[in-house]
Amino acid sequence: METAKSAEKGALKNPYSTDDAKVVEEGHEIYMAAGCNGCHGGTGGGGMGPPLSNPVWVYGNDGDILFRLIALGTTGLQEQGYTRKGSENVVGPMPPHGNIVKSNDDMWKIIAWIWSINPPDKSASAAQ
């Protein structure tokens, strides 16, 4: 939570890779334990919240943006000057989860899992 508040824009990087099957699996377990599946579905297909598995990304898919969105929620992210770029079938605020996901480490593992079901477009993320 604090990291997402204090880090400069674009400064947050995922230390994990989707090639690490153990990290990806742990990420999914943390995602389920944090209750993300209540809105995004157990496999990320969506529900009350937008799907994580489709090609549309509301703010972008790089680690910096996803970390902030998950930790700070929609309101906190937008307060930092990030704006919606994509539109999903569900448009609404996501609540902050920075106090539910216990550590930065857990956060990055969740993001590694999200990337494993929805690989970031390499060219797009390289341009960030």
Q: Where on the chain is the footprint of ligand HEC (CB under 6 A)?
A: 31, 34-36, 38-40, 48-50, 52, 56-58, 66, 69-70, 74, 84, 88, 90-95, 97, 101, 110, 114
Nearest residue to ligand HEC, using CB?
Answer: 36
Q: Angle between the 104-117 and 63-79 helix axes, to the nearest 10 degrees?
A: 110
Rounded distance, CA 105 to CA 93, Å?
24
In angstroms, what is the minimal distance from the CB of 120 to ligand HEC? Answer: 11
Give the shortest CB-81-to-ligand HEC separation in angstroms.
14
Instruction: Compute the least distance from the CB of residue 19 to ligand HEC, in Å.
Output: 20
CA torsion, ordered 102, 28, 58, 71, to nearest 10 deg: 0
- Specify the residue, 23 or 110, whose C-beta has the smaller distance to ligand HEC: 110
Least distance (Å) between residue 22 CB and ligand HEC: 19
Is residue 109 within 8 A of residue 26, CB to CB? The reply is yes
Gap between the Cα atoms of 119 and 122, Å rounded: 8
